[in-house]
Chains A and B, each alone.
Chain A
Amino acid sequence: EIVLTQSPATLSLSPGERATLSCGASHSVSSSYLAWYQQKPGLAPRLLIYDASSRATGVPDRFSGSGSGTGFTLTISRLEPEDCAVYYCQQYGSSPWTFGQGTKVEIK
């Protein structure tokens, strides 16, 4: 099983600042099958990034993903108030599929 470790647990930044979220994998993620999700309270997760670096349909271009192997990053280039949420990484290259524990992004 691939264990995903996200850091930091909480990120508190001001609007317009750059947010960098990390996801480390215990083993290499096959074919860079790694996704990033955004979840707001009471809602289902929303896909932001798939295959490590591809932006999902309708996702603003301030969200970008990078990385391969065992290290991945989600970057929000200029934080907006509506980006306040919990962000999860998920790998789907090896079964069982697994999620990271999440990073909470707070807007000051």
Chain B
Amino acid sequence: QVQLQESGPGLVKPSQTLSLTCTVSGGSISSGGYYWSWIRQHPGKGLEWIGYIYYSGSTYYNPSLKSRVTISVDTSKNQFSLKLSSVTAADTAVYYCAGRGPGLGGGGDYWGQGTLVTVSS
């Protein structure tokens, strides 16, 4: 069974870059057909999709965040990462990593437990 775990600083200063890593266990991040995503949830609010990286390396980002987001993969560590630059208090949220696959259909769906990131000086 695929499992995901987020890690990274829980506190980031305004204007800095938020960096989170998701470690995948129970399967290879390079497995064909998998989409590796980041999703966030502002306190007391709904879910916001940030973007994904496909197993092939192609990426797609939420247009509202595209100028500040980078998602990348480290196959040697079976991890994928999120970088969000120039953060403000509005980026304070619980950040989830998730996986879907193989392929879009079929119900393969895996989530990390989430990690709270607070943006504050």
A and B pair up: yes
Interface residue A12 (Cβ < 8 Å from any Cβ of B): no
The answer to whether A45 and B111 touch (CB under 8 A), given A33-B105, A50-B105, A96-B62, is yes
Interface residue B26 (Cβ < 8 Å from any Cβ of A): no
B60 contacts which of A43, A57, A95, A101 (Cβ < 8 Å)?
A: A95
Identify 20 new A-B residue pairs, CB closer than 8 A, beyond the known A31-B104, A44-B112, A101-B46: A1-B63, A33-B104, A44-B113, A44-B114, A45-B111, A47-B107, A47-B109, A50-B106, A54-B107, A56-B107, A56-B109, A90-B47, A90-B49, A93-B104, A96-B51, A96-B61, A96-B63, A97-B49, A97-B52, A102-B46
Please tell me if the beta carbons of A88 and B46 are within 8 angstroms of each other in the complex: yes
Interface residue A70 (Cβ < 8 Å from any Cβ of B): no
A92 contacts which of B96, B104, B113, B114 (Cβ < 8 Å)?
A: B104
Please tell me if the beta carbons of B49 and A99 are within 8 angstroms of each other in the complex: yes
Residues of chain B within 8 A (CB-CB) of A50 are 105-107, 109
The interface size of chain A toward B, counting residues with CB under 8 Å, comes to 27
Interface residue A66 (Cβ < 8 Å from any Cβ of B): no
User: Which of B47, B51, B106, B113 has the most C-beta atoms of chain A within 10 angstroms of its own C-beta?
Assistant: B47
Q: Which of A26-56 contact B (CB under 8 A)?
A: 31, 33, 35, 37, 39, 43-45, 47, 50-51, 54, 56
Please tell me if the beta carbons of A51 and B105 are within 8 angstroms of each other in the complex: yes
Residues of chain A within 8 A (CB-CB) of B106 are 50-51
Residues of chain A within 8 A (CB-CB) of B49 are 90, 96-99
- Which 5 pairs show the lowest CB-CB distances between chains A and B? A50-B107, A44-B111, A47-B109, A95-B60, A99-B47
Q: Shortest beta-carbon distance, B36 to chain A, in Å?
A: 12
